[in-house]
Amino acid sequence: MASRIPILLMGMLLLLCWLSEAEYMKYKDSKLPLNVRIKDLMSRMTLEEKVGQMTQIERTVASAEVMKKYFIGSILSGGGSVPAPKASAEAWIDMVNDFQNGSLSTRLGIPMIYGIDAVHGHNNVYKATIFPHNVGLGATRQADSFISADPELVKRIGAATALEVRATGIPYVFAPCIAVCRDPRWGRCYESYSEDHKIVQAMTEIVLGLQGDIPAGSRKGVPFVSGKTKVAACAKHFVGDGGTTEGINENNTVIDRHGLLSIHMPAYYNSIIKGVSTVMVSYSSWNGIKMHANHDLVTGFLKNILRFRGFVISDWTGIDKLTTPSHANYSYSIEAGIKAGIDMIMAPMNYTEFIDGLISQVKNNIIPISRIDDAVKRILRVKFVMGLFEDPLADKSLVNQLGSQEHRELAREAVRKSLVLLKNGESADEPLLPLPKKSSKILVAGSHADNLGYQCGGWTIEWQGLSGNNLTSGTTILTAIKNTVDPLTEVVYEENPDSNYVKSNNFSYAIIVVGEHLYAETFGDNLNLTIPEPGPSTIYNVCGAVKCVVVVISGRPVVMQPYIPLMDALVAAWLPGSEGQGVADVLFGDYGFTG
């Protein structure tokens, strides 16, 4: 009997050792190397769990239950998709954490990653700071340079944007857009820093602002996100989106390989070297081949030649658009998109169809499991690098960063630096600008002078933008003028006065603010590039009767030639965003023009 006790003890010890070994999940140990954690987690995953990781759904169809049932890897807010109108940072955090708790309650507890378009600040969110759109930032110049733009400025904007996005519990942004807009008729031209790829390359410094500076000696191409005040970034739209025929959105870019690689590709090299976490594929085609089905460029070039190690994501229903009409042959779309090398699919609404279709294609050997494993490895790598496994839930420690005064001052600086002076007086000897702050009476006119929505442009609160002054917090150009002039100067605002009114009121001078209406994406495609009425008639009525400066609010260069003889000064202000005070800072000479 006595000899059996040690054997029994030995057996119990072995069982305990085995149980503790079974409980030790390497992927949960942050001290272990990244590849060990990825390999361990991959070895535990079923096909269903892997396909779930490859699926990104819209928040309107998400719930904790959906996350748990389908092992969903990611959620996004499409343009204007919010938990509630004018939702607070706390409301955003509660929503994101609710979804995350669903993901954490799955068998393996793999956290989801929430993504949002923060293309000029945290633009979906009420009271966030709205920075100038990229077209304006691309016009900025460092004092000692006329070639490169101001990369240090956009890096600071990236860091501020990251803080505001994290303030709402979100760790992933679909930015920056590194398109090279070669035709201003394109409706997304304002999302591009420049037609010059060198300027776009310089502006990839925003990646380091969003994600943090990569540690010295890092392997090139490996994603990097520096903790809880930073976000995963996304270089988009791969590749050639700014070069389509006649600037038609989502159209065909006709260019030889050398042209594609020398104009549209360089900013991707820079982004990848800077550790960008994800790359989004373009809706557009290259020489007739849709990018969402282009294995040569997505797998062959981006993954194999550029050695990109993050994940590749589709655009919104991007694979659906591989057929005409969209979604006409979804099984083909799944096969073509996944085989091209796309790792995560934005299947915002019809996610069950995507999941079922992909699982079926793997089981029927249409898509090899090796392709699935490549995708999931990349997605998990980004999640591990970001620290999502250690800190999956957002806390409320950063809520005061949303729309902070410091960020508004930075946006105001960006507005000042982006303004471009196109005309100033009939000759250099008689400039109109800077304007005197002390005058008896001045006129402010134009549809865009007192309209925060027009100032911010598309991708602001709503996908297409919103006209008016009650969309979010900010300063209109009219308010900025009133804040800047001498208290004794009378400021009269008349949106579209007739010439008799102007002549009979004895104004010292007039400031006219006119420009384009709101648009985003295809809705902005414009083959004539003129500004709409009442802009032209306001210019004729006012400038014909009094000294005037015209400030143009637009997402691209627009035709001003017919009105130039009438005006005394002309300023391109692009889409300056929420801080209109930056416009007045320069008009009245507190700062000089540098754009």
Encode pLDDT of 54-96 as tens digits: 999 999 999 999 999 999 999 999 999 999 999 999 999 999 9
User: What is d(CA 525, CA 283) in angstroms, rounded to the nearest whole number?
Assistant: 15
DSSP letter for 494, please: E
Element (H, E) at 581: helix 581-587
Same domain, residue pair 192 and 249: yes
Q: List 180's β-bridge partners, or say none.
A: 194
Which neighbouring-strand residues pair with 290? Answer: 285
Do 500 and 451 share a structural domain? yes
Is residue 490 among the annotated active site residues?
no
pLDDT of residue 218: 87
- Pairing state between β 289-290 and 509-515: unpaired
Q: What is the pLDDT of residue 427?
A: 87
- Does an H or E element contain 285, and which? strand 285-286
Q: Are 520 and 556 in the same domain?
A: yes
**Quick check: is 63 in a domain?**
yes
Write out pLDDT tens, residues 309-318. Answer: 999 999 999 9
Alpha carbon separation from 449 to 475, 476, 560 (Å, rounded) = 11, 7, 18
Active-site entry in 150, 521, 579, 585: 521
Report if residue 594 sits inside a domain: no
Q: Identify the CATH number of the domain in which residue 442 sits.
A: 3.40.50.1700
Q: Residue 21, SS3?
A: helix
pLDDT of residue 19: 46
Amino acid identity, position 396: K
Mean pLDDT of all residues belonging to the chain: 96
- CATH at 143: 3.20.20.300
pLDDT of residue 13: 58
Tell me whether residue 579 is one of the annotated catalytic residues: no
Q: Are residues 445 and 506 in the same domain?
A: yes
- Provide the number of structural domains found in the chain: 2
Residues 479 and 523 in one domain: yes
- Are both 379 and 423 inside the same structural domain? no
208 is a domain residue: yes
Q: Which among 49, 117, 195, 315 is annotated as catalytic?
A: 315
- Structural contact between residues 552 and 558, judged by C-beta atoms closer than 8 angstroms: yes
Q: Is residue 23 part of a domain?
A: no
Q: What is the pTM of this model?
A: 0.96
Q: Are both 467 and 582 inside the same structural domain?
A: yes
Instruction: Note whether 188 and 231 are same-domain residues.
Output: yes
Provide the angle, in degrees to the nearest 10, between the axes of the packed helices 330-340 and 351-363. Answer: 70
Alpha carbon distance 336, 295 (integer Å)? 9
Q: Give a yes or no: residue 310 inside a domain.
A: yes
Q: Is the residue at 34 inside a domain?
A: no
Regarding whether 250 and 345 lie in a shared domain, the answer is yes
Domain assignment present for 481: yes
User: 373 with 476, same domain?
Assistant: no
Lookup: tokens for 314 = 């589709």
Q: How far apart are alpha carbons 459 and 13 in whole angstroms?
A: 62
Q: Are residues 393 and 444 in the same domain?
A: no
Q: Which domain holds residue 509?
A: 419-588
Look-up of token digits 């250099």: 428
Asked if 92 and 179 sit in the same domain, the reply is: yes
- Mean pLDDT per 10-residue run, the chain (595 residues)? 58 53 84 97 98 98 98 97 98 98 98 98 98 98 75 98 98 98 98 98 98 92 96 98 98 98 98 98 98 98 98 98 98 98 98 98 98 98 98 97 98 98 93 98 98 98 98 98 98 98 98 98 96 97 98 98 96 98 98 96
Cα Rg, the chain, nearest whole Å: 27
Report yes or no on 17 lying in a domain.
Answer: no
Q: Residue 323 is encoded by which pair of tokens?
A: 């057929």
Whole-angstrom Cα distance, residue 328 to residue 151?
A: 43
